[in-house]
A and B are shown apart, each in its own frame.
Chain A
Amino acid sequence: MTASPPARSAGAPSGDAVLELRAVTTEIRSLRGRVRPVDGVSLTVHAGEVVGVVGESGSGKSMTAFSVLQLFPTKAARVIAGEVLLAGRDLLTLRPEALRRVRGREVAMIFQDAASYLNPVLTVGAQLEQQLQAHDMARGAEARVAELLRDVGLTPEVAKRYPHELSGGQCQRVGIASALACSPALVIADEPTTALDVTIQAQVLRLLARLQREHDLALLLITHDLGVVAEVCDRVYVMYAGQIVEEAPVERLFAEPQHPYTQGLLAGVLDLLDPKPIQAAIKGSVPDLRDPPSGCRFHPRCPHVMPRCSSDVPPLLLRGESRSACWLHDDPDASQGAPT
């Protein structure tokens, strides 16, 4: 996307980090036990960068997104460890009122099923104006709402409509307008196109990409759709069973996937230009996180499984421009100083 990709090699510390998660662990407590859908996740989003988080359902990618603002679909979920640094400030230590001021203003969210994320009994305009009021931008709110709606390709009249009078694509445009309303530093988009028709998906994605460029937004994009990743992301994290197994610039990820899980994900994508029988995608399913597999969490499903995979947790190691957590790449040179 960017003309000259700066030296944002994986893992390299950078001064322009907008968001930095450090070993974040989120726990859901239920009567059936405790689950950690996010288990020691570290990731960084730099200014103006589009970062993708991919994985299957249940990999913890959405819970990672929810952990940033500590807003979860269930009351039983809580961030129990780590740091969520927004421009260096740890959001986990903020008081509720300070955190509220971050939500929707400094960090905005776009959700999957936009229609259900709009209140059915309030007009679109009312919901956008509420957000502006909540952040002391009530003055000129009506004009600002009209401007926002125009920005996302809707007419200002949409402000008077109720969500049920809009299509799914229009609702998602409203969702994007809401995300941009207070000019945030970071937008987190959780599967923003998944619930839409294919043709609408492309439109919404293009809109998101355009606005990201125009506003120089940092965008954290959660998706299971590798096509979306290829189209808009600069850098990608691959999550499996609550952990990050690979991080790479987008071209590297598609050209040379390191982790067997990433290789499996990519093998599952049908290439229309090079039709070949789809290889058996990853066999089995995501493990039950109440009792995650020992060692590498992917080892029960891994085609290259080795004895040490079930006993030792592989660290995320830098290899070229990518980092991956797999014992396959543990050649003697690289393992110097790596914790075992």
Chain B
Amino acid sequence: MSAGRGTKALGAYALERLVNAVPLVLGVIVVNFLLISLAPGDPVTALIGEFPAPPEYVERVRAQYGLDQSVPERLVRYLGSVVRGDLGFSFANRQPVLDLVVQRLGRTMLLMLTTVVLATFVGVVLGVWAARRPNSAVDGGATGFALAGYSIPEFWLGQILILVFAVWLGWLPAGGFRSIRAEYVGLDAVWDQARHMILPVLALSFRYMAITTRLTRASLLEVMNADYILAARARGLSERRVLWEHGLRAAALPIITVIGYNFSFIVAGSALVETVFGWPGVGRLMYDSIFTRDYPVLLGILLLVSITVILVNLVTDIAYALADPRVRY
């Protein structure tokens, strides 16, 4: 590597990006807080339920949770506690929000990272396959697969997968995080976990496989028309080496970009898939906390998810910079 492209420069770049992300995160908190205050209903009614409680009791609970204060006062107090690392207390789960969200986020990340890896791997392989013989049967198949991937919603696909593989064939569990009754240890536990992941990961990754397939195909087809590909052939490189060492290396850049971009959408998709499969992740938690008006949890999820997305985008940009020597940072 030439001067100015060492790890030091990369570290400084990452730090700068992190500092720049602080106002963004603050903005996310404020907007989410205001949006939720505007939403109808309040946690106290959800907590007390339909039962007609005496008004004094409702007022007391409201004051206990600080909900009698004005929105600006509550926002300032919330920001103050977030800075101290306290995301509040979950009304519904009776547990600190941070602990709850971090635990659930870990499970969601397990689902999402598996999805990203699978979708990228399958998508790149299919895309390369299609691009090698454009307009062939293989290419047509990949295009049809991609079209289906674009159009089928995750939650519908999830239900169909449950129907086929869990209900009809009985091969895989219909949902859940792991088998509750059996006490597995070691490899058995890993296998049990993996079996529970197969269907949700498939449901979640289908669309991103499709996007990656199409993108890899288009990017590679364009790159393979480049002058330097002709030059590589003229130097006597085999078609295999031209494709993998020259073609895919250059075609990888847009693919890397889209991995980071997809990640934000997989967050949204995972909320639906977790609900369908009863996966106890952050998406499922978000769904539940909307119904219980568990605002601190909702805010905590939005905050941590935003931070995750920002971090993933940063990692993507760094990966891009490492892959493309022309990028300056």
Contacts and interface: CB of A to CB of B under 8 A. Distances in A.
A131 B249 contact: no
Given A69-B234, A131-B235, A117 B325 contact: no
B246 to A, nearest CB: 5
A123 B236 CA distance: 18
Q: Majority SS of interface residues in chain A?
A: mixed
B31 interface: no
Interface stretch (B87-95, B223-231, B269-277, B304-312): B223-231
B236 A122 contact: no
Contact of B228 (A108, A116, A131, A160): A116
Contacts of B233: 71, 103
B237 interface: yes
A108 B231 CA distance: 10
B324 interface: yes
B2 interface: yes
A288 interface: no
B325 A164 contact: yes
B232 A130 contact: yes
Contacts of B324: 120-121
Interface string B231-257: 111111111010001100110010000
Q: Which of A105, A121, A178, A182 has the most CB of B within 10 A?
A: A121
B50 to A, nearest CB: 64
Contacts of A104: 234-237
B231 A117 contact: yes
B228 A120 contact: yes
Interface in A82-126: 96-97, 100-105, 108-109, 111, 113, 116-123
Nearest to B223: A119
Contacts of B226: 116
Nearest to B229: A119
Q: Majority SS of interface residues in chain B?
A: helix
A120 B325 contact: yes
B226 to A, nearest CB: 7
Contacts of A181: 235
Contacts of A118: 228, 231
A60 to B, nearest CB: 18
Contacts of A175: 231
B325 A121 contact: yes
Q: Which of B230, B235, B249, B325 has the most CB of A within 10 A?
A: B235
Contact of A134 (B238, B249, B250): B238
A134 B325 contact: no
Given A130-B245, A164-B326, A165-B2, A111 B227 contact: yes
Bin chain A's interface residue count. 35 or more
Given A119-B246, A135-B236, A130 B241 contact: yes
Interface string A120-159: 1111000100110011000000000000000000000000
Contact of A103 (B235, B246, B249): B235
B250 A120 contact: yes
B323 interface: yes
Contact of A162 (B227, B234, B246, B326): B326
Given A105-B236, A108-B234, A130-B237, A121 B323 contact: yes
B125 to A, nearest CB: 20
B212 to A, nearest CB: 19
B238 A162 contact: no
Interface string A175-207: 100100110000000000000000000000000
Given A134-B237, A164-B325, A71 B246 contact: no
A73 interface: yes
Contacts of B232: 119, 127, 130
Interface of B: 1-2, 225-228, 230-239, 241, 245-246, 249-250, 253, 323-326
Given A103-B235, A165-B325, 11 more contacts: A97-B238, A104-B235, A108-B234, A109-B231, A118-B231, A121-B324, A130-B235, A130-B241, A131-B237, A164-B325, A182-B236
Closest 5 CB pairs of A and B: A104-B236, A104-B235, A117-B231, A131-B235, A162-B325
